């Protein structure tokens, strides 16, 4: 699919709102970029839908709107006109669009201020958001084992979640089951274990599909940082220098070793 006005707008949205995924997409082969930009633009729209209004009913309606888009794509029905939904409907396979329902359901947590009930609910949130997004991207591009992709997506999702803690707490959310330094370290270790588990089975993800996993290129460094210095989570100080970020992405893109 050629870049038209819609896809260009998708790319601009990702560049502005999700710069890390923008960089990973620009490091991907040209033919993979339309799908990745459409999918990541959708993720931006869905992720910010719960925060669009202080009125929970309006936020619910905005999340439901994207849930309906996912159903239309999954059921191969005419999809409502939208600069993100339109290209997404042309690029995403119907069977993969079924994941959008779970993503939207998970995002309802963002609307309210209740904590996660237990570890299972938290893990489900990370899997249905980060894991499902990575799975849709990877399987759209090539053959891959879903469990491997979701393990890697979980680890990458935990890294992103830890970086988002200060903003979530500023919005009066309770993002962690155990907010102690030890609890943060345990969560980071779990994320790192998932990354390692996925990498052991790297052969089960084709080279084409592995391009989608470039989006998690910083996860290992961030998780190790959180284990060494868990206090940096609350300070919003997780992350690498710009030089290390870009060099790390370049290295993984060239070698294909996500």
Which domains, from first to last, does the chain contain? Answer: 1-112 (no CATH), 113-258 (1.10.600.10)
What distance in Å separates the CA atoms of residue 41 and residue 101, rounded to the nearest whole number?
17
Is the pLDDT at 1 greater than 90? The verdict is: no
pLDDT in the model for residue 2: 78
What's the confidence (pLDDT) of residue 135? Answer: 98
Q: Calculate mean pLDDT across residues 111-138.
A: 98
Tally: H helices and E strands in the chain: 15, 0
Pair of tokens at residue 132: 């499902």
Alpha carbon distance 256, 254 (integer Å):
6
What pLDDT, on the 0 to 100 scale, is given for residue 20?
A: 97
Residue 236 pLDDT exceeds 90: yes
Question: Per-residue pLDDT for 170 more than 80?
Answer: yes
Residues 27-40: tens digit of each pLDDT: 999 999 999 999 99
Q: Is the pLDDT of residue 221 over 80?
A: yes
Give yes or no for residue 202 having a pLDDT over 90: yes
Identify the pLDDT of residue 217.
97
- The model's pTM: 0.96
CB 228 within 8 A of CB 187: no
* pLDDT tens-digit readout, 63-118: 999 999 999 999 999 999 999 999 999 999 999 999 999 999 999 999 999 999 99
Beta-bridge partner residues of 82: none
Nearest to 218 by CA among 197, 190, 246, 199: 246
Indicate the pLDDT class of residue 188, thresholds 50, 70 and 90.
very high
């Amino acid at each position: 699919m050629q870049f038209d006005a819609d896809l260009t707008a998708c790319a601009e949205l990702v560049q502005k709102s999700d710069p890390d995924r923008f960089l990973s997409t620009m490091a991907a082969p040209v033919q993979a970029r339309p799908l990745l930009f459409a999918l990541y633009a959708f993720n931006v729209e869905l992720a910010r839908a719960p925060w669009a209004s202080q009125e929970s009913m309006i936020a619910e309606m905005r999340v439901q709107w994207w849930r309906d888009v996912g159903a239309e794509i999954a059921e191969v029905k005419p999809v409502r006109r939208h600069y993100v939904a339109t290209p997404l409907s042309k690029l995403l396979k119907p069977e993969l669009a079924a994941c959008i329902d779970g993503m939207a359901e998970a995002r309802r947590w963002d609307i309210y201020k209740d904590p996660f009930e237990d570890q299972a609910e938290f893990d489900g949130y990370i899997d249905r958001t980060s894991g499902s997004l990575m799975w849709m991207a990877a399987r759209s591009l090539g053959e891959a084992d879903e469990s491997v992709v979701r393990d890697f997506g979980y680890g990458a999702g935990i890294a992103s979640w830890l970086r988002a803690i200060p903003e979530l707490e500023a919005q009066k959310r309770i993002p962690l089951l155990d907010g102690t330094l030890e609890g943060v370290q345990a969560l980071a270790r779990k994320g790192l274990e998932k990354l390692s588990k996925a990498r052991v089975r790297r052969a089960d993800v084709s080279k084409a599909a592995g391009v989608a996993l470039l989006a998690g290129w910083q996860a290992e460094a961030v998780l190790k940082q959180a284990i060494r210095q868990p206090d940096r989570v609350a300070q919003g100080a997780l992350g690498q220098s710009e030089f290390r970020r870009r060099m790390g992405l370049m290295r993984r893109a060239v070698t294909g070793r996500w």
